[in-house]
Structure 1
Amino acid sequence: MTVKKLLTHMMVAAVALSGFAASIAPTPTNAMVVSEQAQPTARYMVGTKAGTQGIEQAIQQLGGSIVDEWTFINTYLVEIDPSKASSIQSVPGVVFINQDEKVVENKGSSKTSDDKLIANVYQSVITSDKVVKKGITGKGVTVAVVDSGIANGAQSDFRKRVSANAKFSTAGNMSDSFGHGTHVASILGGDGTQSNGAYPGVAPGVNIVNVKVSDDEGKAGEQNLVEGLEWIYDNHKKYNIRVVNISNQIATQQNYKESATNAAVELLWHKGIVVVVSAGNQGGTSCSTCYAPANDPFVITVGSIDDKGTKDTADDSLKNWSSNGLTSEGFSKPEVVAPGSKITAYMPKGDLRGLKPENVVSNDYFTMGGTSMSTPMVSGIVALMLEQNPNLTPDQVKWILKNTTRSYGKQPAGSAGLVTADAAVFFNPSNIPANVAQNFELSSLITAAVDDDVNLDTPDSWSNIAWRNVSWSNIAWRNIAWRNNFD
């Protein structure tokens, strides 16, 4: 069985497990003896060390069965009586066992443009308007938006700049029936056409690749996310993908070195692709920065401030729902912040419009908030930086962004600074220190491959990675945390 076929099977299995596709979800079976009913079973992701033998036999001896196998990550999908599942951990070679969980959905409240027409103030707050004025719009740079899809068309704010579409979900089409992905893409690179220039994005000339990983209700599994990231890995040269925007998170807290998603983003990072992710809307909760991929030390994690609807940063403050603080490994996150409250962007359709009718600005625009909205602002700035200085490495981009931030009015002591686009874009590369390489420990999944002399720069390095410790718990679109999403 080929890897691609295995990927397809695993994706289908993930949807069945998510709890949102009831028509294909597993159900208990009736035993042949009328007086006795078989125990309900559950499905688990079982990660093993590369080269481990005898797993199938061990599972069968415990009364379980192998539903599917993902060979390139050394992971099995096992169906077994929950009371016997813990016994799998003692099988030689097994690194982890995690029950596949459903998606967590947190519902609650929450072309060069003429800057004189712009209604949002965030362009001024992050100073991207100064860059666009000089004709730098992200032209020639491609950003992959990994999200719920993009509503595109001849009369959209993207027009012909969506250069490719890839779908890794059960959704019926490439478009966006949910709305979140379109809103994110608009902040990143909309040109404001449908608003006569009132609501352009940060990089209105950037090319966009639509990587759709959720269904039409905005639900997805981690399998969908990793498959989307693998597609980017395989196709980044073809589409000149230099930046990846991820405005979602995994549902459960994880050590960054034991996350499949983090292993994937680290592979992209070391391929020369800048990965920008949202911090999440879990501010005020225990270890709010401990969710992948926001907790990965390599990537650029973005938090949210409230610009109060003014261009003056003296009144700006960190949103209380914006995740911030130390990860479980002691890394300070996020590295930068950007406006994330009451952001209006292109979103002509989507279920989100019906959740908050008062936030509908027009037939084409909608107002939302959250770290999901802050993240594409930074991705847009990175696109501007790479148009200006295309030879920058991801580590150099991150160093420049962090070292060109500025303080804002009510900034908590020791917290991340506000991104400053003009300072970052026009930073002289000759002033970058000789060694800004991030020397964090790689994910153990990648380390296993490196130990086996697998070169991360070879085209097939993804499939050669020994993906140990993979935890296929599902995506929680926590940065669409509805308690804050409309704030």
Structure 2
Amino acid sequence: MFRTHTKIKRFSLMVMGIGLLSLTLFNAKPGHVAAEAFIVQGSDLVSARAAVLSAGGKVTHELGIIHAVGAELTVAQQEDLRALKSVRLYTNRSVQTAKKKKKDKPSDSDGGEAFGNTSHVTLIAAEKLHAEGITGLGVTLAVLDSGLADSAQIKRGTDGQLRILSQYNAITDEELSVWSAPNDDYGHGTHVQSISLNSEPSSDTGYYRGVAPNARLVAVKAFDENGQGSYADVIRGIDWLLNNKDAYDIRVLNLSFSAPPQSYYWDDPLNQAVMAAWQAGIVVVASAGNTGPDPMTIGVPGNLPYVITVGAMSDNYTPDNPADDKLASFSSAGPTVEGFIKPDLVAPGGHVVALMDDSGLIAQEHPEFHEEKGMYFVMSGTSQSAAVVSGVAALMLQADPGLSPDDVKCRLMASARGARNEDGSPRYSILQQGSGLVDAYGAVNSDITGCANRGLDIASDLSGEEHYAGLVRRDEEGNYYLQEVEGASMLWADSMLWADSMLWADSMVVGDSMLWADSMLWADSMLWADSMLWADSMLWADSMLWADSMLWADSMLWADSMLWADGVSWADSMTEAVSTNVWVPQE
């Protein structure tokens, strides 16, 4: 899986070695040596497994999708494996879905929320498609999250027929019956699934509460009752999905979590699994993360250039008045460390109303956002935004089953509506809003192709032959801009992507009227999804030396704390818990 390219010699030892991702130090019994959790990657699954067993370690996961195994290893066993040239070690990092940062005090707008609200459907014009019979029928959506609740609105379509095809518990490595007992004790997975495919009409509006109310569902549980999981569990879940892709005709995968990047996008094992899913023909939708508003806060796997990365916007509690819509202040922003523009677009992610049982941990910690009957819950985050776009992807694939993942991404971005001021100027940077607010009706009726992932070769990327960089650069004063490309008319070429005029303190002021207009992707005929080949090395230092030869030095420096040299190795210092899609106040 990892063949080094002559242009990337400095990465060869890392690529041919072993990688690890660390989560937990297992408490050893008296007389036993403590073991840690790792991911061990080889040239194939068999060689990785053999290496672990020969060192005396215990294999815990088979991760064929990335030619690796999960393993428990003592310090001595780790040293033995690190001495090999045929495997690579990653510490088995922990990941979490939305978690509680602190007890939020409800604001005036938090209370009195209309639990019949379906604005996440109407803001993107999905109800128009429902009226035309486009409801996601026949399209399978996989959701990898905290499990499945006992909810008829999720388990059955609008006709009352069962539409759950399968359940898989990646934590226990167990495929479950569609009639199995509910296993979402956290609530996050249920909320996400409900946004994408709730089949119940709202008693207030009459519109379906889900974006794709007739899509089929495959539910994968990789997060426990506390919203915590591990890289190994998440990768095993994606591996299972890929192995069962054809059996259940899985077309869309929703990943509503994000972890801070600790390597280049191609060197992260979780990203490698996600890339394999995209390459296999699955449309992958990932949340941007809830750690905004600062630039360069996009998480894993949303930092992958291939996938559809979604940020969050809010209707400001006035769904019928777009003039005061705003970007959510928590929504993570680009660029990625490799210079790619992210997020790709935004979707409703403020005070979204969806199913969540009152017995779940999130509902118990935030009872003020739960309705009295214990069914619907109000929650904000890019997790919710990603679920909206996953539903839209299902609608698109019902209307045109022949679309590739790149086609779906292209049409979503080309049809999105950019946030603009009354004079037509951008309300937010494209590093904050991407191409704009998703438009389900426009995406389904689009016939555009060839505008996404231009210049990228995912097979070469996965094999290690080539890796890629985006077009965003930063000048000596810390302003972000797009590099000129010969023969291309570049949007924002004469102005900054992120300068003083686009600080959140200014752009978040609600007062001046705002409108959702043409996609930011097509303005000034600039296709900013283009990329370039990652050369021998990359230098993104303060001097910003960008010669025609594209010399990139040993490391890539964007900010004082963002430096990864050739020696990045997922070492023991990276064993802290990874906070993904943290709980944020309602917006």
Q: Do the structures match in fold with TM over 0.5?
A: yes
Aligned counterpart in structure 2 of residue 302 of structure 1, from 300, 310, 325: 310
Look up the equivalent residue of 2:321 and give its one-letter code: D
Give the Cα separation in 1 of the matches to 2:412 and 2:214: 21
Q: CA deviation at 1:287?
A: 2.9
Give the Cα separation in 1 of the matches to 2:374 and 2:412: 35
Q: Give yes or no for the alignment of 1:377 onto 2:368.
A: no
Query: Is the Cα contact below 8 Å between 1:49 and 1:93 reproduced in 2?
Result: yes
Give the Cα separation in 1 of the matches to 2:45 and 2:136: 45
Partner of 1:420: 439
Partner of 2:101: 108
For residues 405-439 of structure 1, give each alpha carbon's deviation from its aligned partner in whole angstroms, at most 9, with x where no partner exists.
11225731224111111111111x3x435x85644
Aligned counterpart in structure 1 of residue 247 of structure 2, from 204, 229, 238: 238
Aligned counterpart in structure 1 of residue 192 of structure 2, from 170, 184, 188: 184
Q: CA deviation at 1:52?
A: 11
Query: Is the Cα contact below 8 Å between 2:48 and 2:87 reproduced in 1?
Result: no
Structure 1 unmatched ranges of 5 or more: 1-13, 32-37, 111-116, 451-468
Structure 2 unmatched ranges of 5 or more: 1-19, 105-114, 175-179, 422-426, 467-568
Look up the equivalent residue of 2:85 and give its one-letter code: P
Matched residue of 1:325: which SS? Answer: coil
Larger deviation: 344-353 or 363-372? Answer: 344-353
Matched residue of 2:228: which SS? Answer: coil
Aligned counterpart in structure 2 of residue 79 of structure 1, from 54, 73, 77: 73
Query: Is the Cα contact below 8 Å between 2:296 and 2:335 reproduced in 1?
Result: yes
For residues 283-305 of structure 1, give each alpha carbon's deviation from its aligned partner in whole angstroms, at most 9, with x where no partner exists.
1457311x321111111000001
For residues 162-190 of structure 1, give each alpha carbon's deviation from its aligned partner in whole angstroms, at most 9, with x where no partner exists.
22211112599553111111110110010
Q: CA deviation at 1:369?
A: 0.6
Matched residue of 1:478: which SS? Answer: coil
Partner of 1:6: none
Larger deviation: 198-207 or 299-308? Answer: 198-207
Give the Cα separation in 1 of the matches to 2:132 and 2:457: 40
Q: CA deviation at 1:47?
A: 3.4
Q: CA deviation at 1:470?
A: 9.3
Aligned counterpart in structure 2 of residue 217 of structure 1, from 202, 211, 226: 226
Aligned counterpart in structure 2 of residue 228 of structure 1, from 228, 237, 240: 237
Query: Is the Cα contact below 8 Å between 2:353 and 2:378 reproduced in 1?
Result: yes
Say which structure is richer in helix. Answer: 1
Q: Residues 76 and 255 from structure 1, CA distance in 2 versus in 1: closer, same or farther, beyond 3 angstroms?
A: same
Give the Cα separation in 2 of the matches to 1:220 and 1:54: 22
Q: CA deviation at 1:343?
A: 0.5
Q: CA deviation at 1:118?
A: 5.6
Q: CA deviation at 1:273?
A: 1.2
Give the Cα separation in 2 of the matches to 1:201 and 1:71: 33
Query: Is the Cα contact below 8 Å between 1:166 and 1:174 reproduced in 2?
Result: no
Q: Residues 102 and 377 from structure 1, CA distance in 2 versus in 1: closer, same or farther, beyond 3 angstroms?
A: closer
Partner of 2:164: 162
TM-score (norm 1): 0.76
Give the Cα separation in 2 of the matches to 1:293 and 1:253: 11
Q: CA deviation at 1:227?
A: 1.3
For residues 12-64 of structure 1, give each alpha carbon's deviation from its aligned partner in whole angstroms, at most 9, with x where no partner exists.
xx99x744xx9xx3326448xxxxxx7x654444434569989989999xxx7
Partner of 1:442: 458
Query: Is the Cα contact below 8 Å between 2:302 and 2:309 reproduced in 1?
Result: yes
Give the Cα separation in 2 of the matches to 1:320 and 1:86: 45
Give the Cα separation in 1 of the matches to 2:219 and 2:45: 36
Q: Give yes or no for the alignment of 1:346 onto 2:361.
A: no
Q: Give yes or no for the alignment of 1:400 onto 2:411.
A: yes
1:30-429 pair list within 5 angstroms: 30=31, 42-49=36-43, 65-68=56-59, 70=62, 72=64, 73-75=67-69, 77=71, 79-81=73-75, 89=82, 91-95=84-88, 97-103=89-95, 106-108=99-101, 119-154=117-152, 158=156, 160-170=162-172, 174-192=182-200, 197=206, 200-250=209-259, 252-284=261-293, 287-289=296-298, 291-309=299-317, 310-349=319-358, 350-361=360-371, 362-408=373-419, 411-414=427-430, 415-416=433-434, 417-427=436-446, 429=447
Q: Residues 302 and 89 from structure 1, CA distance in 2 versus in 1: closer, same or farther, beyond 3 angstroms?
A: same
Look up the equivalent residue of 1:423 and give its one-letter code: G
Partner of 1:26: 27
Larger deviation: 418-427 or 247-256? Answer: 247-256
Query: Is the Cα contact below 8 Å between 1:338 and 1:377 reproduced in 2?
Result: yes
Q: Residues 99 and 239 from structure 1, CA distance in 2 versus in 1: closer, same or farther, beyond 3 angstroms?
A: closer
Larger deviation: 100-109 or 237-246? Answer: 100-109
For residues 423-466 of structure 1, give each alpha carbon's deviation from its aligned partner in whole angstroms, at most 9, with x where no partner exists.
11111x3x435x8564425387831699xxxxxxxxxxxxxxxx
Query: Is the Cα contact below 8 Å between 2:39 and 2:91 reproduced in 1?
Result: yes
Query: Is the Cα contact below 8 Å between 2:94 and 2:230 reproduced in 1?
Result: yes
How many percent identity over aligned positions? 31
Matched residue of 1:220: which SS? Answer: strand
Q: Residues 30 and 304 from structure 1, CA distance in 2 versus in 1: closer, same or farther, beyond 3 angstroms?
A: same
Partner of 2:449: 432
Give the Cα separation in 1 of the matches to 2:52 and 2:139: 50
Give the Cα separation in 1 of the matches to 2:326 and 2:238: 33
Look up the equivalent residue of 1:98 and give its one-letter code: Y
Give the Cα separation in 1 of the matches to 2:343 and 2:399: 25
Look up the equivalent residue of 1:308 and give its one-letter code: N
Larger deviation: 366-375 or 227-236? Answer: 227-236
Q: Residues 238 and 46 from structure 1, CA distance in 2 versus in 1: closer, same or farther, beyond 3 angstroms?
A: closer
Q: Across the two proteins, how many residue pairs are aligned to each other?
A: 427
Look up the equivalent residue of 1:425 and give its one-letter code: V
